[in-house]
Amino acid sequence: MQKGVIGHEGVVSAVMEDGYKVTITSRSACAACHARGLCSASEMENKVIEVKHKSPLSFKVGDKVSVNMSEAAGMKAVWIVYAIPAIILVTFLLYLQSLGISELVTGLAILGAIAVYFVILYLFRGKIGRRIRFDLSPLDEITNN
């Protein structure tokens, strides 16, 4: 794996005109444990990621690939999805509580503010998607380096 790059193994599940759909199996840390069948804490989840490409690559359905993203883009995504909503939550909470507004109204206002934030994110998803990009590479190319 290259330095400064975050990568996950996946399988091409669909070939589209402008890219690919790749299925990644996300496992919790205890998914590899020999006692996972007896424990309810282990979990696995399939995620489908769309990887857009202007020039066609030579992948087909069933190919094992590595889905890569730069660490900088990953940090930007973390800020957009986790840090900014947390800042909105704490800011609204402290401000509305300092005004003496009831907890119910404060909670509803916080939920509304975060909902507005995510609606704005949805409206600008194309612009954000151009800044946070995934790349594909054959899995054997990654493991041989």
Q: pLDDT for 108-125, tens place per residue?
A: 999 999 999 999 999 998
d(CA 7, CA 61): 19
How far apart (Å, rounded) are the C-alpha atoms in residues 126 and 129?
Answer: 5
| Beta-strand relationship, 44-52 and 135-138 | unpaired
Q: What is the pLDDT of residues 40-87, one digit of tens each?
A: 555 667 888 888 876 666 788 888 888 888 888 889 989 999 999 999
> What residues contact 46, with CB distance under 8 A and at least 6 apart?
23, 24, 25, 26
Q: Which of 132, 142, 141, 136 is nearest to 60 (CA)?
A: 136
Which residue in this structure is represented by tokens 């995504």? 77
